[in-house]
Amino acid sequence: MLLYEDAEFYIQTQESEIPWLLIFTKEPYKELGDMPKELRKRLWDIYDIVEQELKDFYKPTKINMASFANMLPRVHIHVMARFKEDSYFPNPMWGEKVREASLVLPDEDLFHKRLLLALHREARKEGLL
């Protein structure tokens, strides 16, 4: 599901038992190094907001970040809130399942609203909205 979009980036949710977001560039850059430096800086600013909001809202055991881009060869970053009780922890979400888990997490819609407010605040500050 598309959660956020501006002139340079968009954020989607990944269907999962854990809070999992993907940050994409609108331009289909293949590698981070192909991006203009200012755009890379903005990507990390967005990542920082997503990570902080995940930490503040969900209080996870760990935040995982990944950027393989082998199947989809364009810049995108996975940001995942991980919990000791999730089905794969401590393995990666693409790894071997360790247990059957049933996490009870705070309301996802409320998290999305909080994240959108933080992202819009930053975009307005940068003159992008």
Provide the pLDDT for residue 71: 67
- Please write the tens of the pLDDT for every residue from 12-70: 999 999 999 999 999 999 999 999 999 999 999 999 999 999 999 999 999 999 998 67
Q: Looking at residue 129, what is its pLDDT? A: 62
Contact 10, 24 (CB under 8 A): yes
The residue whose two tokens read 């810049």 is 75
Domains (range + CATH), the chain: 2-125 (3.30.428.10)
Better pLDDT: 92 or 68: 92
Mean pLDDT of the chain: 93
Residue pair 32/44 in contact by the 8 Å Cβ criterion: no
